[in-house]
Amino acid sequence: MQGIGPVAENLFYNSAPLGLCYLASVLDEHEVNIIDAVVEKLSIEKVIKRIKGLSPGIIGITTFTVSSYSCYALAKEIKNILPWTKIIAGGPHITSNPDDLLEHKEIDMAVIGEGEMTFKELVGAIEKGNDVSGIKGIAYNLNGKLFLTSPREFMPNLDILPFPARHLVPIHLYKPQPNDQRRLPKLSMITSRGCPYPCIFCDKNVFKNTYRSFSAKYIVNEMSHLVRQFNAKDIAFVDSTFTPNKERVYEIVREIKNSNLDVTWTCSVRADVLDRPLLKEMRDSGCWRVRLGIESGDDEILKFIKKGVTKSQLIKVTNWAYELDLEPKGFFIIGHLADTKKTIEDTINFACSLPLKDITVQVNTPLRNTPQYHIMERYGKLATKDLSSYSFWEPVFIPDGLTYRTISYYYKKFYLNFYLRPKIWYRHIKKIRCYSDIIKYLKGVRILAFFFISWLKKIF
């Protein structure tokens, strides 16, 4: 079986494809290879050449909306040279859009939703030549009509899963963002699945609102595995949110402290759950950064997107994190359905008023079958329906009263207004501890220069 990550342009940073690694981990009775075309900087031609050499019987392809066009192009090329190979798509995009199978006949089947048990059964059935119509959680084109089998139930106990098969990917090639490094090597982990919150912009079609967590012991055992097997010094917990349940976080923190692991970690948090004592416990167990989904600096926009937090809560938690030296990082979106020039300006000013060390800004992209997708026509129009233009940093949806050029302008301005301040430079400079930190910040300056130059091009 061959697993392929999305084929896309080179990014400034990347992390291991944990979804594919989980799938590979449950196929231990089969010969499995993973090709991560992004981190290896492989063109479609190079991916095809490698696949041809392996000549697999089954190929799994991960689909995300922003790279689905290249996934389908790759699948078509594979079918041309290996017509007998079964190509199975999985991931958020095909789960949300199984009807793509009617147009893209190069995809034989799709795994809908949580993939491990479904994919394992499907691979076994295909290898034995058995009928697959009774396997839950799959879709395929049946004589020109979409056939969906019964939904696959979510695994109630995630601890039954083996650790992701990271040994099948070039782990040394994965690099975090320059401003998101404390110690290297830095690896990523997932400690839960699903998100119980109703934000209208979020694609939750794979894991839905059903929140499930690995146990604290499982989590710390995996951390220990990463330290022993891959010499991990820092771990990013990349759950949608790490802190929906305070007691769970306290339990994980206690396990980490008892393990005496020499490892630091980061996580994503919500402002409506945290308090100062919990943040302090997190810090004392090795947490050095919390990532906050702030999204907007306007309370009415926060209500509109059903974020479930207020500016006052965000101010309070960000200040606590800063005081505890947890280097808070804020995540923002501009171009919300109800955004105006004023609300975007207010969001930029709000970001600059908070004691954040770093930010990430995205342009709102209404993905199919997200709550906002079904109401967006009331608030504006799509700039394009071409999925190859979807990126999260170029406008796809234009709210009433705004233009493509205006949103692009504010996207660049957001970064420049935030980072071109003496206060921010001071926060970063005082964290320089060694030569590698200097190199890290020089890379960060390169990224900022990229935004500055492209911003000037937009203006002139």
pLDDT band at 169 (very low <50, low <70, confident <90, very high): very high
Its CATH class, for the domain covering 176-459, is: alpha beta
Average pLDDT rounded to a whole number, residues 23-35: 95
**pLDDT for residue 180:** 85
Average pLDDT rounded to a whole number, residues 117-141: 97
Q: Tell me which of 432 and 308 has the higher pLDDT.
A: 308
**pLDDT for residue 103:** 95
Q: Tell me which of 425 and 293 has the higher pLDDT.
A: 293
**pLDDT for residue 429:** 72
Average pLDDT rounded to a whole number, residues 370-375: 94
Average pLDDT rounded to a whole number, residues 243-270: 97
Q: Is residue 79 scored above 70 in pLDDT?
A: yes
Q: Is residue 11 scored above 60 in pLDDT?
A: no
Q: Is residue 207 scored above 90 in pLDDT?
A: no
Q: How far apart are CA 460 and CA 453, in angstroms?
A: 11
Q: Is residue 176 scored above 70 in pLDDT?
A: yes
**pLDDT for residue 95:** 94
- Residue 43 has a CB neighbour count (10 Å cut-off) of 10
Average pLDDT rounded to a whole number, residues 239-263: 96
Q: Is residue 362 scored above 70 in pLDDT?
A: yes
Average pLDDT rounded to a whole number, residues 253-282: 97
Residue of 359, 365, 352 lying closest to 393 (CA atoms) = 365
Average pLDDT rounded to a whole number, residues 245-249: 95
**pLDDT for residue 209:** 77
**pLDDT for residue 10:** 45
Q: Is residue 8 scored above 50 in pLDDT?
A: no
pLDDT band at 368 (very low <50, low <70, confident <90, very high): confident
Q: How far apart are CA 27 and CA 17, in angstroms?
A: 16
- Spacing of C-alpha 49 from chain mean position: 28
Q: Tell me which of 427 and 307 has the higher pLDDT.
A: 307
Q: Is residue 183 scored above 80 in pLDDT?
A: yes
Domain ranges of the chain: 2-148, 176-459
Average pLDDT rounded to a whole number, residues 427-439: 64
Average pLDDT rounded to a whole number, residues 240-250: 94
Q: What is the mean pLDDT of the chain?
A: 91
pTM of the model: 0.90
- Token pair belonging to 21: 């690694």
**pLDDT for residue 1:** 58
**pLDDT for residue 369:** 86
- Token pair belonging to 33: 């290879």
pLDDT band at 9 (very low <50, low <70, confident <90, very high): very low
**pLDDT for residue 458:** 54
Of all residues in the chain, what percent carry a pLDDT higher than 70?
90
Average pLDDT rounded to a whole number, residues 304-308: 97
For the segment 85-119, what is each residue's pLDDT rounded down to a tens digit? 999 999 999 999 999 999 999 999 999 999 999 99
Average pLDDT rounded to a whole number, residues 341-365: 97
Q: Which CATH superfamily is domain 2-148 in?
A: Cobalamin-binding domain (3.40.50.280)
Q: How far apart are CA 43 and CA 151, in angstroms?
A: 35
**pLDDT for residue 422:** 85
Q: Tell me which of 410 and 458 has the higher pLDDT.
A: 410
